[in-house]
Amino acid sequence: MNYSIKSRIWIESNGHVLLGEGRVQLLKAIEQTGSLSKASKTLNLSYKKAWHLLDSINQSAKNPVTINTTGGKDGGGTILTNYGKTLIRVFDDINQNCWEFLDSELEKMKNL
């Protein structure tokens, strides 16, 4: 038999989702594009949905995750704070460690 484990990781703060895979993808897209609008297009999300997710992250985090700049000659944008970048790294580490653990546990099934 060929077994596989399915799992999704998310981190909550006071009963509200802070980070999950989709939210981290949004933060990474913001980091790459410098814009919430461009990030939402990259991920095929409506701007409203992306804004709601980002607002939810910022409301649940203990420090600001993004900084918004207003328009002007070059237009506005959204950039990640150092705290936001750290959250991404920590989430990715937790997620990777979880998958390594689950894969090693699944190996036990092969010997049954």
Q: How far apart are the first and last CA of the chain?
A: 11
At residue 109 the predicted structure's pLDDT band, cuts being 50, 70 and 90, is: confident
pTM greater than 0.85: yes
pLDDT value at residue 74: 63
Q: With b meaning 16 or more CB within 10 Å and e meaning fewer, what string describes 10-33?
A: ebeeeeeebbbeebbbbbbbbbeb
Q: Where are the domains of the chain?
A: 12-110
Cα separation of 34 and 16, whole Å?
26
Structure tokens at 41: 């297009």
Q: What is the pLDDT of residues 46-105, one digit of tens each?
A: 999 999 999 999 999 999 999 988 765 666 789 999 999 999 999 999 999 999 999 888
pLDDT value at residue 44: 96
From residue 83, give the alpha-carbon distance in Å to each of 1, 13, 26, 43, 93: 44, 16, 15, 22, 15
Q: Indicate the fold that domain 12-110 takes in CATH.
A: Arc Repressor Mutant, subunit A (1.10.10)
